[in-house]
Amino acid sequence: MAEAKKLLGRKNQHLGQLWYRSLTLRHVISLLDQVEDVAKVPARIENLMAEKQLYAAVQLHVQSMLMLEREGLQAV
């Protein structure tokens, strides 16, 4: 019985590590998605400016800057 409890404890610890790793990977994927979106912003702003949608271009710029500040990605 003690041996079974010991094995279950090890498996439970391993499951905890896997769970934490999955959370970390989800966060990294989310950050990469945000970086990808931000990388597209300059082209989107240029398109909006070419279409004379200046207010929308400014809004997109401000929203992108706020998101970068919020996520700590200013260096991107």
Does residue 32 fall inside a structural domain? yes
Evaluate whether residue 51 is within a structural domain: yes
Mind giving me the DSSP string for 3-68? HHHHHHHHHHHHHHHHHHHHHHHHHHHHHHHHHHHHHTHHHHHHHHHHTT-HHHHHHHHHHHHHHH
Domain residues for the domain of 60 are 1-71
pLDDT for 58 equals 97
pLDDT by residue, tens only, the chain of 76 residues: 777 666 667 677 778 888 899 999 999 999 899 889 989 999 999 999 999 999 999 999 999 988 888 877 766 6
Q: Domain for residue 27, yes or no?
A: yes
Evaluate whether residue 35 is within a structural domain: yes
Residue 33: how many CB atoms within 10 A of its CB?
10
Does residue 11 fall inside a structural domain? yes
Number of domains in the chain: 1
Is 76 inside a domain boundary?
no
E strand or H helix at 2, and its extent? helix 2-39
